[in-house]
Structure formats: structure tokens, C-alpha cells
Amino acid sequence: MKKILVSGGAGFIGSHLCTRLINEGHHVICLDNLFTGVETNIEHLKNNSHFEFVNHDVEFPYLIEGLDEIYNLACPASPIHYQYDAIKTIKTSVLGAINMLGLAKKTNAKILQASTSEVYGDPVVHPQVESYWGNVNPIGIRSCYDEGKRCSETLFMDYHRQNNIRIKIIRIFNTYGPRMLPNDGRVVSNFVVQALQNHDITIYGTGDQTRSFQYIDDLIEGMVRMMNTEDEFIGPVNLGNPNEFSILELAEKVIQLTGSKSKLVFKPLPHDDPKQRQPDITLAKEKLNWQPTIELGDGLQKIVEYFKEYRYRN
């Protein structure tokens, strides 16, 4: 049994990771300030003697003994939430990384940074490979998140070089699944919630911009495999689904799955919104023996069922 800390563990991705680690028989400490995470995401774990929830903000140091692994996930991850308090977002990324790396140093734990495809900005290289340095606007409205995550990667590399911290870096591409917030602001949850309510489905721009959508279970599998690689392999590694879909195609799939009467409405594209996003996952296949297995149609069906039930519960 390992003792594992998950920062941001009550969030969408973090709660699924905590569940997976508990199911594998580990002792899990879930650290979350509930800024975007919610306790209902981890309610099913609270009676487990190997699970602890700690309400804590990673902007401030956290001390604990005897850790084996740390997954650093703490940070708002949708534009609505990370732009709501841009200064807090970048502080969470930068100070959170410093504090979690400091904890890894004290406890000799191995630590994984959940970075993002946003480090590639609006890419001019397609699909995106890990060696691509990106095309990011450092002064745009999204840069609190993009640059915060880029700085986190820098900190991880410097702690590794200077202090021999055992690190792993993953870059997460668009992920969806149960426990996304209905007001998340990300395209999959937006479309499903709008479709279930028969509201107009809002498409920004012409809808021909593309995204690659991976289901949450595929991501969690990739994260655990990355943590379990040999110490010499640190990444960064893209974790995403290379099957590319236009936003228009996604909207049509959601309408079809829900039987919705929603109509499509088009609005101007937000500033700095990337036109294309698609991972090259050659490295993940080679080093992790990993690739997504859940098709978009199957995954969307699961999140449609979740939001139907969510609406009934709430």
C-alpha cells in the first residue's frame, strides 16, 4: 500500500483519480480548497478508512510525513473558472507547484504534474508533439492558466535538476466525463446541458475549429501508468485522444444522442481561442503502452446519462 497525496482531489479529474487509487488499495490524502472541486465528488470515498479529505489551499505549504507519491492537479481548468480570478489561478499553479515540490523534497516522494495542452497555445504545429514549444500569448486573458502551467513545468524541471526530485510531467488534452460541473464552461458539458434543456446550443466562431476529446477513464489510466514508469523517464507526455472532431460535429452528435430540439446559434470566437488541438501520442504509446480506448459516441452517452441524473438529483 502506498501513501499518495492528490492535490485538487475533489475536482473532476482528481476525484476519479482518488477513486482509482483507493480501488487499487492505496491510502489517499485528497487536498482541495473546494474553489472548483465539490465534496459530492468524493462523498462515496469518505467512509473508506484509507481515504482522508483535507480542506487546504496549495498556495500555502502543507506538511505531512511518509508520502510515496504526489499527484499535483490543483488548479481551475476551464476558462470560466480560471478567468474568474486570474491572479488566484496563476498563484495556484506557481505557488502550488513550489509547495508540492517542497513536500516531495521533504518526503522523498515521486511527484506528477498535471500540465495541459494549453502550453501549446494556438499551435502552428499540428498535431502537437512534446518537443513543440508552443505559441502562447503571455498577456492574453487565458495566459493566467497557460503561463501558470508552463511555469509549473519549468519549476518541476528545475527542482529535478537541482534537487534530484523524481518528477513526471503529463500534458492533458480535452477530457470529459461524469462529475464535470454543469456550469463548467467547457464545450462538452455546455453542449450536453443545453441539449438536455432544449436550449439553443452556442457555437463560438464558425464551428470548424477542432478539438480532440478523451474520456476520463482513458486519462486516469494514462496518469497511473505515467507515475509507474522508471525514474529516468520524466516526460512531458501528451495524454489525449488523437481523433479530431470539429465543434460543429460535436454539437450534431450531442443533439442526436439526446434527441434534443435545440437549434445551433453562432457567436464570435473568444480571444486567443485555439483553432486546432490534437495530440501526437507516439511517446505515450511507446513509453506507457497507452492509447485511448473509449470512442466519442460511447463516452458522450455516459456523460448524457450523468447530466440527466444530475438534474434529477439537484
Are residues 6 and 73 in contact, defined by beta-carbon separation less than 8 angstroms?
yes
Task: Indicate the length of the chain as a whole number.
Answer: 314
Q: Which residue has the cell 467512509?
A: 47
* Identity at 201, one-letter amino acid code: I
pLDDT grade for 314, boundaries at 50, 70 and 90:
very low
Helical spans, DSSP H, in 108-164: 143-163
Q: In whole angstroms, what is the distance from residue 262 CA to residue 4 CA? A: 44
Q: In whole angstroms, what is the distance from residue 214 CA to residue 142 CA? A: 22
Percent of the chain exceeding pLDDT 90 equals 78
Which residue numbers are catalytic? 145
**pLDDT tens digits, one per residue of 64-91:** 999 999 999 998 775 666 677 889 999 9
Q: Which domains does the chain have, with CATH numbers?
A: 3-175+214-239 (3.40.50.720), 181-211+243-274+294-313 (3.90.25.10)
**pLDDT tens digits, one per residue of 249-260:** 999 999 999 999
